[in-house]
Homo-oligomer: A and B are copies of this chain.
Amino acid sequence: MSKKYVYLFSEGDGGMRNLLGGKGANLAEMTRLGLPVPQGFTVSTEACTKYYEDGKVISEDILEQINVALANTEELLGKKFGDVENPLLVSVRSGARASMPGMMDTILNLGLNDQVVEGLSRLTNNPRFAYDSYRRFIQMFADVVMELPKSRFEVIIDEMKEARGVKQDTELTAEDLKELITKFKAFYKEQLGSDFPQEPKMQMIEAVKAVFRSWDNPRANVYRMMNDIPYSWGTAVNVQAMVFGNMGETSGTGVAFTRDPSVGTKALYGEYLMNAQGEDVVAGIRTPQPISTLKDVMPEVYEQFVKVANTLENHFKDMQDMEFTIERGKLFMLQTRNGKRTAQAAIKIAVDLVEEGMATKEEVMNKVDAKQLDTLLHPTFNPDKLKSATPITTGLAASPGAAYGAVYFTAEAAVAAAEGGKKVILVRMETSPEDIEGMNAAQGIMTARGGMTSHAAVVARGMGTCCVAGCGAIKVVEEEKYFELNGKRYNQGDIISLDGSTGNVYEGAIETQEAEMTGDFGKFMAWVDEIRTLNVRANADTPKDAATAVKFGAEGIGLCRTEHMFFEADRIKAVREMIVATDVEGREKALAKLLPIQRGDFEGLFEAMGARPVTIRLLDPPLHEFLPHKDEEIRELAADLGITFESLKGTVESLHEFNPMLGHRGCRLDVTYPEIAVMQARAIIEAAINVNKKGMNVVPEIMIPLVGEVKELKYVKDVVVKTADEVIANSGVNLTYKVGTMIEVPRAAVTADEIATEAEFFSFGTNDLTQMTFGFSRDDAGKFLNDYYTKKIFESDPFARLDQVGVGQLVKMAAEKGRKTRPDIKLGICGEHGGDPSTVEFCYNIGLNYVSCSPYRVPIARLAAAQAVVNDKASKKEEKSA
């Protein structure tokens, strides 16, 4: 027997979303609930997949099933498709598993042809309605199926209106419309070389195909990419009997939400138009009325609608977004779905649903989109002040938040100005690791070059500082301390405002307001913490980051990158002295200068985190990152270090690497120069002892990066332990510490059972692990990844969302192997993926202990962790019942 590809609305239910799409499943569910739904059928998403598999052909068995469903619908409604006397007209609409608004196309009034239109005219006794319906159908069909844009037909309408001397479409008579139809068909034939199809079934099949095709149109592909919707899902097609809102003054159509989607208040919210079809509401020619006024126009229908709305909200336990049509005083529901809402509304609705007793805390976890939370965490411009502002340019919205300040063009100038109490915007051609201090001191960062993964963007997001990157319209002249835009010069000290959430740049200062984790937001996040079991830590390198992390609910630091401390002005010189030293003694001398500074850094960090665990990673980047590369800079530094230019140039050249990603870095540095590990271990342990003497109880976690082989880990660990134990013994106090490793090299994942004999914890560095597992570096992949998206080889950015099939498999394998060797090993993830909701869920599912992400993503990760618990329970329940 052939597989079932077509379902009557009466055959489905709300749980069949994957097969019927969201729209189809909800039409079926509304039918089940006995609500007034024009009947019809859904061609499943599997039919769409099969259509593509078969080379863009609808197979015979699917065609046959459509015919059967159509016959059933005809019987149910007592109308016949293509029948002149009592015609069934249908709408054909797409409906994917996830809502993809605006992405797919709709055809109304399908089934009309030259004969049927006459029958409809007689049946409704409304020729103008019939002809108007037909001309609209021709336009929509031509547009959606034949790719002949609607607007091309509008020209013909305009010509006729001019000829008739009228302004509005509605002023055209039935006879005018009949003539228009003749013109439309002639234009159709002229443009497309064939007659407008008169055979209704052929119209339907072509429309179904057009919906399938539209799944693969560029807009749809872009939307899916942005929203992590797999291409493989496909779309369903809904064929539904038409009802008409344009049959006179007792007909109408509208859309409504059960709660206010922008703030969340409970009240019907929406609008309608009498004597209109759906597209008129959207088109904006007539002004729709607020839904509440329907009460006065058609009190009974309004009352019925309110009831239906309540039924739906109670049934779906969520705010509903509904489409309805009133045909000659009778209400029909065309669609319902969980309504899109702002983050603020989402929080309020979730809290209200629980407090109204409509849903449990667990049930509302998924009512807030974790990613959306981001908008609630950053400063925003005061909306009143923003109204009167016009952007002077727009760049990439690289790191959210709003800020204003005086522009400065070097890290040093920015730091100096900030220390002088000024609010600073750092403006650079592009940033590099040496700018860290300036970026840290700035309220906002603007760069002329670089994309969403440029240094400025990545670091700013990590810091939670707003950033507008790749602002190509500005010309930055760093040496002369100005930038130019549209012929105007902005000098050092001039004030601008940046919106990192939109990419907009404004002249002058716009007042900002801070984000608050209080009220409903605070309440909701408390529930999140009740439900989740996965711990959430933050990646933080400074006491300031740490404080932000704690504010956002971080339960520890999962990654402190010690090298970030090395770039600051007071220490970079010592770092460079260490690098140019030619022997152990020279290096140790330079390291001795760094020791007290690093110790101070760690003390600050420990103090900011209180009793929470702090994982500190030993030096990771290759040493050449700390040296200048231009001859003049080398010359300057050589003079500063008291060595010759040639000698320093030689060092720089000898440190050059063909593939720095795959070079001399991470624990490899400690193998070559164990004295670096000695200094860092000493700084960490001394800092912990110092703060513990003040009554704290810090248990530092020392993390050795880039390990690929257990003996390599053991070598460096032995150095660390020897140093630490000596320091502890000499201090006369007790101190517990842990030594663990990053798992970021594929070999470490594969040999995790061996690695775990030495490591007390694993932290998955999924940035590097992704690069090495795929074999492409993030810096270079930008050049070809777009081709991979366009050609549907990748559906999401593997650096933003963990590749669970490949990289995830290594993570899972390593977690299992690690636990096998050392059952109590602590497992976490500290790549940027740690703040991605789908990755958080994956980490929960494979049993990690924590995720660590940038401070500003901590609330997102917390919510994602709670959602993971809820989803896991749901899927286990499903399995059990299956």
- For A783, the closest partner residue in chain B by CB is B664
Task: Tell me which residues from 659 to 695 in chain A have a Cβ below 8 Å from any Cβ of chain B.
Answer: 659-664, 668, 671-672
Instruction: Looking at the assembled complex, report how far the CB atom of A11 sits from the nearest CB atom of chain B, in whole angstroms.
Output: 34
Q: What are the residues of chain B within 8 A of A788 when measuring CB–CB?
A: 671, 712
Contact partner of A776 (CB less than 8 A), chosen from B663, B773, B806, is B663
- Pair A750/B671 contact, Cβ less than 8 Å: no
Contact partner of A668 (CB less than 8 A), chosen from B709, B772, B784, is B784
- Pair A745/B775 contact, Cβ less than 8 Å: yes
- For A786, the closest partner residue in chain B by CB is B672
Q: What are the residues of chain B within 8 A of A706 when measuring CB–CB?
A: 775
Binds B, one of A159-167, A244-252, A454-462, A790-798: A790-798
Whether A777 contacts B708 in the complex (CB less than 8 A), given A747-B807, A751-B805, A806-B750, comes out as: no
- Pair B794/A775 contact, Cβ less than 8 Å: no
Instruction: Looking at the assembled complex, report how far the CB atom of A152 sits from the nearest CB atom of chain B, in whole angstroms.
Output: 30
Q: What are the residues of chain B within 8 A of A754 when measuring CB–CB?
A: 805
Whether A661 contacts B659 in the complex (CB less than 8 A), given A709-B806, A775-B746, A806-B751, comes out as: yes
Indicate whether A779 reaches chain B with its CB closer than 8 angstroms.
yes
Instruction: Looking at the assembled complex, report how far the CB atom of A624 sits from the nearest CB atom of chain B, in whole angstroms.
Output: 11
Indicate whether A711 reaches chain B with its CB closer than 8 angstroms.
yes
Give Cα A807 to B709, complex, Å.
11
Indicate whether A46 reaches chain B with its CB closer than 8 angstroms.
no
- For A231, the closest partner residue in chain B by CB is B711
Indicate whether A867 reaches chain B with its CB closer than 8 angstroms.
no
Indicate whether A809 reaches chain B with its CB closer than 8 angstroms.
yes
Indicate whether A356 reaches chain B with its CB closer than 8 angstroms.
no
Task: Tell me which residues from 740 to 799 in chain A have a Cβ below 8 Å from any Cβ of chain B.
Answer: 744-747, 750-751, 754, 768, 771-777, 779-781, 783-784, 787-788, 791-794
- Pair B779/A775 contact, Cβ less than 8 Å: no
Q: What are the residues of chain B within 8 A of A779 when measuring CB–CB?
A: 657-659
- For A770, the closest partner residue in chain B by CB is B747
Instruction: Looking at the assembled complex, report how far the CB atom of A795 sits from the nearest CB atom of chain B, in whole angstroms.
Output: 9
Indicate whether A223 reaches chain B with its CB closer than 8 angstroms.
no
- Pair B660/A711 contact, Cβ less than 8 Å: no
Q: What are the residues of chain B within 8 A of A750 when measuring CB–CB?
A: 773, 806, 809-810
Instruction: Looking at the assembled complex, report how far the CB atom of A739 sits from the nearest CB atom of chain B, in whole angstroms.
Output: 17
- Pair B791/A671 contact, Cβ less than 8 Å: yes
Instruction: Looking at the assembled complex, report how far the CB atom of A678 sits from the nearest CB atom of chain B, in whole angstroms.
Output: 15
- Pair A747/B775 contact, Cβ less than 8 Å: yes
Q: What are the residues of chain B within 8 A of A708 when measuring CB–CB?
A: 773-776, 806
Q: What are the residues of chain B within 8 A of A671 when measuring CB–CB?
A: 784, 787-788, 791, 793
Interface size bucket, A side? 35 or more
Convert A807-851 into 0s and 1s, putting 1 for each residue whose CB lies closer than 8 angstroms to a CB of B. 101100000000000000000000000000000000000000000
Q: What are the residues of chain B within 8 A of A668 when measuring CB–CB?
A: 776, 784
Q: What are the residues of chain B within 8 A of A787 when measuring CB–CB?
A: 671-672
Give Cα A140 to B776, complex, Å.
58
Instruction: Find the residue from A663, A776, A777 having the highest chain B CB count within 10 A.
Output: A776
Give Cα A810 to B813, complex, Å.
12
Instruction: Looking at the assembled complex, report how far the CB atom of A786 sits from the nearest CB atom of chain B, in whole angstroms.
Output: 9
Q: What are the residues of chain B within 8 A of A772 when measuring CB–CB?
A: 746, 772-773, 775
Q: What are the residues of chain B within 8 A of A662 when measuring CB–CB?
A: 659, 661-662, 771, 775-777, 780-781
- Pair A660/B663 contact, Cβ less than 8 Å: no
- Pair A663/B777 contact, Cβ less than 8 Å: yes
Q: What are the residues of chain B within 8 A of A773 when measuring CB–CB?
A: 708, 745-747, 750, 772
- For A711, the closest partner residue in chain B by CB is B793
Q: What are the residues of chain B within 8 A of A664 when measuring CB–CB?
A: 780, 783-784
- Pair A747/B806 contact, Cβ less than 8 Å: yes
Whether A792 contacts B711 in the complex (CB less than 8 A), given A750-B773, A774-B747, comes out as: yes
Contact partner of A709 (CB less than 8 A), chosen from B745, B768, B794, B809, is B794
- For A745, the closest partner residue in chain B by CB is B775
- Pair A780/B711 contact, Cβ less than 8 Å: no
Task: Tell me which residues from 698 to 718 in chain A have a Cβ below 8 Å from any Cβ of chain B.
Answer: 706, 708-709, 711-712, 715
Give Cα A788 to B660, complex, Å.
18
- Pair B663/A715 contact, Cβ less than 8 Å: no
Contact partner of A659 (CB less than 8 A), chosen from B659, B745, B792, B809, is B659
- For A657, the closest partner residue in chain B by CB is B780
Instruction: Looking at the assembled complex, report how far the CB atom of A831 sits from the nearest CB atom of chain B, in whole angstroms.
Output: 14
Whether A663 contacts B747 in the complex (CB less than 8 A), given A671-B787, A787-B672, A806-B709, comes out as: no
Instruction: Looking at the assembled complex, report how far the CB atom of A545 sits from the nearest CB atom of chain B, in whole angstroms.
Output: 27
Q: What are the residues of chain B within 8 A of A806 when measuring CB–CB?
A: 708-709, 746-747, 750-751
Whether A745 contacts B774 in the complex (CB less than 8 A), given A664-B784, A672-B787, A793-B709, comes out as: yes
Instruction: Looking at the assembled complex, report how far the CB atom of A572 sits from the nearest CB atom of chain B, in whole angstroms.
Output: 22
Q: What are the residues of chain B within 8 A of A659 when measuring CB–CB?
A: 658-662, 777, 779-780
- Pair A661/B658 contact, Cβ less than 8 Å: yes
Give Cα A792 to B712, complex, Å.
9
Give Cα A771 to B788, complex, Å.
24
Give Cα A774 to B783, complex, Å.
25
Give Cα A436 to B755, complex, Å.
43
Give Cα A787 to B715, complex, Å.
11
Q: What are the residues of chain B within 8 A of A803 when measuring CB–CB?
A: 747
Give Cα A747 to B791, complex, Å.
19
Instruction: Find the residue from A661, A715, A768, A807 having the highest chain B CB count within 10 A.
Output: A661
Give Cα A633 to B661, complex, Å.
29
Give Cα A715 to B663, complex, Å.
32
Task: Tell me which residues from 627 to 671 in chain A have a Cβ below 8 Å from any Cβ of chain B.
Answer: 657-664, 668, 671
Give Cα A668 to B776, complex, Å.
10
Give Cα A788 to B710, complex, Å.
12
Q: What are the residues of chain B within 8 A of A793 when measuring CB–CB?
A: 671, 709, 711-712, 715
Give Cα A553 to B661, complex, Å.
40
- For A805, the closest partner residue in chain B by CB is B751
Q: What are the residues of chain B within 8 A of A745 when measuring CB–CB?
A: 773-775
Convert A716-753 into 0s and 1s, putting 1 for each residue whose CB lies closer than 8 angstroms to a CB of B. 00000000000000000000000000001111001100
* Shortest Cβ-Cβ A-B pairs, 5 listed: A662-B777, A745-B775, A747-B806, A663-B780, A659-B777
Show 27 A/B contacts (Cβ-Cβ < 8 Å), sorted by A.
Answer: A658-B661, A658-B777, A658-B780, A659-B660, A659-B661, A661-B661, A661-B662, A662-B776, A662-B780, A663-B777, A663-B783, A664-B780, A664-B784, A671-B788, A672-B787, A708-B775, A708-B806, A709-B793, A709-B794, A711-B792, A712-B793, A715-B791, A744-B775, A745-B773, A746-B773, A750-B806, A751-B806
New A-B pairs, 11, CB < 8 Å, besides A658-B660, A708-B774, A746-B773: A658-B780, A664-B783, A708-B773, A711-B793, A715-B793, A744-B775, A746-B746, A746-B810, A747-B774, A750-B809, A772-B775
Chain A interface residues (CB < 8 Å from chain B): 657-664, 668, 671-672, 706, 708-709, 711-712, 715, 744-747, 750-751, 754, 768, 771-777, 779-781, 783-784, 787-788, 791-794, 803, 805-807, 809-810
